[in-house]
Amino acid sequence: MSSPENKWWNEAVIYQIYPRSFQDSNGDGEGDLKGITSRLEYVRNLGVDAIWLSPFYSTPNKDGGYDVADPRNVDPRFGTLEDAKELFDKAHALGLRVVVDIVPNHFSSEHKWFQEALNSPKGSPARNRFHFYDGKDANTPPNNWISLFGGPSWTQTSDGQWYLHLFDSSQPDLNWENPEVMADFERTIKFWLDLGADGFRIDVAHGLAKEDIHKDHYDPQGLSDALRLDVLMEVEKRNSYLANIPFFDRDGVHEIYRSWRKIFDSYQSRDIMAVAEVWVHPPKRATLYVRPDELHQFFNFDVMNAPFDSEYLYKSISDMLGLVKEQSAWPTWCLSNHDSERVASRIGADAARAMALFIFGLPGSAYVFNGQELGLPSGEMSDSDRQDPIYFRTGGKQKGRDGARVPLPWSGDQAPFGFTTGKPWLPLQDSWKEFTVEHEEKDPSSSLNLYRSALKIRREEFVGSGEIKWTKTDGVLAYKRGNIEVIINISDKPYPINGKVLLASHPVTDSLPPAAAVWLLP
């Protein structure tokens, strides 16, 4: 890979912690910062380089903390600012960097700015920090956009005006044309950097600039379906919707990141990084966010959502490697996050192990979602346990993302497996006995031990060892990086192999079983 400098994030493994689900320290059934701090040795021993913490800021928690009421404070459910500082310091002492989330597309409706806007007249400076407009008529919003969580993107206030929310009605979109918004986020960025954060994961990074707010979309339901991964749609049709979305990936967003980059770079000796959540089409558009004067990484969702299919994976991975090279940036690879079905449920437990080995050998940075290392499936629950606004805004039609957010099982034989001494906010399954950290630590063939070995060998053998060379034959995909050959068998027949096995996702002899991967010294 071509990179002018050898930066820590180029090939870092970054472990995503969803604070509410990681470890509870006070028995209230929800994970918290002290809980995370108490488990940092576990994280370090996994062999990762950094952690990314999903939001732990003041929040009414209508969207799992992505509804921020005060971006420069810690919500009491997670602890205090002192707890955050203690977490950052301990992580650093263990050699882990800390990436925190920043949520610039919207605030919570409980943020003081929005409360002020509601209590201020039409056209006031307080309303101008958000997108408040008159409707087309008394009962019709300014346009027909549909929220990403279902239902209209607009909510009417008591004086008849409407405000825009691409997500839940409790998440009013900010107006980035207002310089006060930029100034406030600059404060937030500096606040967390001064407390010790090493970087940011930027939520909905492609959404900050909006165009054509007073125009109807030609097919809002089609667009909304195209944006949902659970709705099947012919690829070309989907791509035609995605190629031009009035509220996503407008050119205006880049100016914002150029100015953020100046702040990051002003922390000269600290090597601050930022990774963008960008759902854009075509994927080449995503590389604009990592131009040399903008951000450092963007998530590659194509591989995260890819079917377990050799042609698809080959094209998606090789295209991405080519695209980032054009910007002298590095790719990122991930298999799961807090918004998606867990990979072990999405493609199956065997394929999930195999895919982990396959992506860990690639040049670039890898993200691991907490629990993925255990091979954890998505949690199951009854509808009365669900908390995701997607479930409520679609009238239960879509189940939402709670399955990925069920707390982690740590130890013991019974739910909640050491996560809490209280009642967990989402139920852990009794059947997860074999997925606890305690259980997997003792089992040499566990997913946890596979991840630990893989990340150790990755660091020693792959990192920095240059580009890859592909070979592929009928359902079997392979690449060579440095001295090692990485092979994944996506066919339904065993595949003969030759060489010294460094690591394999499943027991291998002279052949690699279906849905398995191996690292070989030929």
Q: What residue ranges bind ligand NOJ (CB under 6 A)?
A: 63-64, 66, 103, 167, 203-204, 277, 338-339
Min CB(172)–ligand NOJ separation in Å: 12
Radius of gyration of the chain (CA): 23
Min CB(401)–ligand NOJ separation in Å: 7
What tokens were used for 329?
A: 């940036």
By C-beta, is 64 or 331 nearer to ligand NOJ? 64
- CA angle, corner 257, sides to 212 and 369, nearest 5? 100
By C-beta, is 35 or 400 nearer to ligand NOJ? 400
Instruction: Write down the catalytic residue from 49, 67, 173, 203.
Output: 203
Task: Report whether 163 contacts 118 (CB < 8 A).
Answer: no
Separation of first and last alpha carbons in the chain: 23
Alpha helices in 9-118 (DSSP H): 33-38, 40-46, 81-93, 112-118
Is 203 assigned a catalytic role?
Answer: yes
By C-beta, is 246 or 412 nearer to ligand NOJ? 246
HEC-encoded secondary structure of 50-69: EEEECCCEECCCCCCCCCCC
Min CB(42)–ligand NOJ separation in Å: 24
By C-beta, is 57 or 462 nearer to ligand NOJ? 57
What span, in angstroms and rounded, lies between the C-alpha atoms of 258 and 176?
Answer: 14
Cα dihedral: 411, 417, 422, 428 (round 10)? 150
What tokens were used for 274?
A: 């930022």
β-pair partners for 102: 202
What span, in angstroms and rounded, lies between the C-alpha atoms of 175 and 198?
Answer: 27
Min CB(297)–ligand NOJ separation in Å: 15
Cα dist from 211 to 140, 225, 248, 250, 443, whole Å: 19, 20, 9, 7, 55
How many alpha carbons fall within 13 Å on the CB side of residue 390? 15
Handedness of CA 449, 452, 456, 461 (dihedral sign): positive
Is 82 assigned a catalytic role?
Answer: no
Pairs from 152-161 (Cβ < 8 Å, separation ≥ 24): 157/118, 157/132, 159/121, 159/122, 160/134, 160/135, 161/122, 161/127, 161/132, 161/133, 161/134, 161/135
Min CB(332)–ligand NOJ separation in Å: 15
By C-beta, is 168 or 485 nearer to ligand NOJ? 168
Min CB(176)–ligand NOJ separation in Å: 15
By C-beta, is 32 or 277 nearer to ligand NOJ? 277
Which residue is it, tokens 């954060």? 197
Task: Report whether 479 contacts 462 (CB < 8 A).
Answer: no
Min CB(55)–ligand NOJ separation in Å: 9
What span, in angstroms and rounded, lies between the C-alpha atoms of 87 and 56?
Answer: 12
Residues in the chain: 522
Instruction: Write down the catalytic residue from 32, 173, 249, 277.
Output: 277
Residue nearest to ligand NOJ (CB): 66
What tokens were used for 499?
A: 């060489």
Which residue is it, tokens 């707390």? 407
By C-beta, is 17 or 517 nearer to ligand NOJ? 17
What span, in angstroms and rounded, lies between the C-alpha atoms of 315 and 319?
Answer: 6
Min CB(110)–ligand NOJ separation in Å: 15
Task: Report whether 142 contacts 214 (CB < 8 A).
Answer: yes
Closest CA to 270 of 195, 366, 322: 195
Task: Report whether 467 contacts 477 (CB < 8 A).
Answer: no
- Which amino acid, one-letter code, is at 443? D
Task: Report whether 322 contacts 283 (CB < 8 A).
Answer: no
By C-beta, is 103 or 272 nearer to ligand NOJ? 103
By C-beta, is 223 or 487 nearer to ligand NOJ? 223
By C-beta, is 148 or 374 nearer to ligand NOJ? 148
What span, in angstroms and rounded, lies between the C-alpha atoms of 278 and 295?
Answer: 12
Min CB(369)–ligand NOJ separation in Å: 11
Return the active site residues: 203, 277
